[in-house]
Structure 1
């Protein structure tokens, strides 16, 4: 029996559906209402109106992920799970031109990039997803269960399910991956090389899937998006790398823990790039980019922050070595009250253009503080003041400072 969902999406892929899709896009952009849906059904009888509206909404939301979403077949759930074009293109370069099996291909976010560099076949157990990927990537797709699929290509890309589509809930637990860890190990053992796409919240170090493996922690526009476990011939010699996109910068190394201990809150407050923090490469950045040795970090601040010598930060930034961290000069440390913070700002920078509030672990209410301190800034002002609300041991403090210029990095 033909899947009725598949029939609907085949209808939408045909040229005859263009008037319906244009009308659905107008309705979706204006806001879907019962009367608008009724009008669509009247004007397009026996047409898959719910799927057309889903497609229109997904295309509108996918503009930030894909270069030309108007040509794609996708729904909202598939869009949320798909790799962006930027990350997929970066990832695809490591595969060279060898044939690739894209397992659990979904709507084809990775398949599109993989097909752009060489032969690619997509596999998904959902016939609608397989149809979408075939349309979007222009490739052959197979409807099947990857748990029993023979691995007949040298390289594999695998995107295990991490979300229950019925509830929309995402899980970082390894035991919730579909296919499971044992099946993934069997797949990567049969392939010459593989890339396993996991969420950025995966436990670190990642699970051992192969005797030779490495992991890439990828941040896109400052936001962590993926952890990729590479195996076999695709793995690096070092165990972990931080990846920054769109710049394409990478930092390879071995994860280390920052030394923790009480510190004086003076100098500069340094925040590591999110991929560096997640990968455990903070100590390497301190040594190689700031020429600092064993730096102690207040343990309650969090792994992504360090208090360091201001001159070292300024020299690193001036020398173009500031792309794996950002820092502020520490101008004042005060009690966590907006009134005390406001007084400190007036003393440090009497007329700032903008006040930015940051926090970790909910130490302070950043939204409330932003509203209450907004009147201190103005378009006629000069510079930005940052306020960091942090919990140190049993105490909470507010650190007031100014960003150290990264324009040369």
Structure 2
């Protein structure tokens, strides 16, 4: 791998870190009483606001994948990046709930470009023996973004106010565009290149993608994996404040530990799987084993829900999300790179990340409703474990190489 490859890979990790920081900052806001009172929000309103980004994110995934397969990575990513940073900053000037909701939805739609563009670049620039580590570093970026966003947002809110939090977290990210535009090779097709890009993308028709068991397996696995992640992104600070009695700043600190744990484990697990594959282990079986171990370990979140001891509750809160890191890089490598033909990477990732967006919307809104009707976080946590079991079963049954989307050579003619 060249220094330019490493540089772009690190920029992609930083880009997804900023994206997740911008989407996660809302968790600190909806745990803040002045913010809640300003918009006169109930638990249902808080759930709707937390889910706004994810619904638009899901809706824009397939169009985003279609765009990067035909128009490259550099230019579409740059445009969307600037758009979501500005929308995040504008959230701080909204005075009514519907305005804030729409800004969060705009952030989600623009962030839809991140995954299709990033995984397309990985598939075309990183060899299989380095894929786990590369995607582990990428996954480290989104987990670190989540980890630092909540305590940082909480600190800004406590020391200034929620309006400043949105402005700072939104505008600071724009600095990223400078190295991106300078370092990344322009892959925007020109003239005859556009026709060639369209021809390559057409070798894997959409019908082959949508009928592939591997794609559906990836949809289910990513939905179930993401449900736990997005629940923690949206509701963990509120859970720690309201059910465990921590302050807002303390909740941000423990949220940081949880996401730092999954970030570190994701990189280590991706590197470990790469080493096993390099020594001759089957890539699909190896990565599936890590995914299953991660889902099983994450189910320990249930222990934290039922213990009365604060120390153990905090321990399992951190440990369960950290265990899920065993699945992070290996799940992403398996369902978005290893089992997917190169011409269709963007569109397949877009299709699969519809599930991720829907899981975020459902995790935020369903958990808010379950909290509203039960008065406790126990029921939302039980639902997490159910989804983890479904995801593990789907991984075992559906993720098989022979069920990958088929390339039709005739389309190239």
Structure with the larger strand share: 1
Larger proportion of helix? 2
Structure with the greater alpha carbon radius of gyration: 1
Q: TM-score band (shorter)?
A: under 0.3
> Relative CO higher for 1 or 2, CA cutoff 8 Å, sep ≥ 6?
2
